[in-house]
Amino acid sequence: MISHWFGWISFAICILLLSKVIGKISKNKKFNQILRNVHKPLGITIIIIGLIHGLLCITDNFELNIQIITGTILWIFIIALARTFYARVKLKTKWFQMHRHLSIVLVILMIIHIIVSV
């Protein structure tokens, strides 16, 4: 049961992370500044909470099923998103485009994971 709470907390954090796009579009400098300040800590938090959620789900059910597979793929994409940020010096101008495209894929994977899990 607690694994489900971690899942919904992870979902809420992902929504907050994705709201940075809305901050950019709105051109509200104060809102955008707040989102910029919390984006990196929330990114680290989603990695940790997502891992805890996954580990708790695996210990609840020792079978390899579609929820575990989609969740693992989702978590790998979250790690890939973090990697694009930390490799931004090496990736130069491509990092932001990669980060944005991975975010779109992340949203699709999150929807699939939620649908198969509910």
Domains of the chain, by residue range, sit at 2-117
Q: How many CB atoms neighbour CB 104 within 10 A?
A: 10
User: Predicted confidence band at 53 (pLDDT cuts at 50, 70, 90)?
Assistant: very high
pLDDT, residue 74, reads: 94
**b/e per residue, 50-87, with b = 16+ CB within 10 A?**
bebbbebbbeeeeeeeebbebbeebbebbeebbebeee
pLDDT value at 64 more than 80: no
Query: What's this model's pTM, rounded to 2 decimal places?
Result: 0.85
How confident is the model over 33-40, as a mean pLDDT? 87
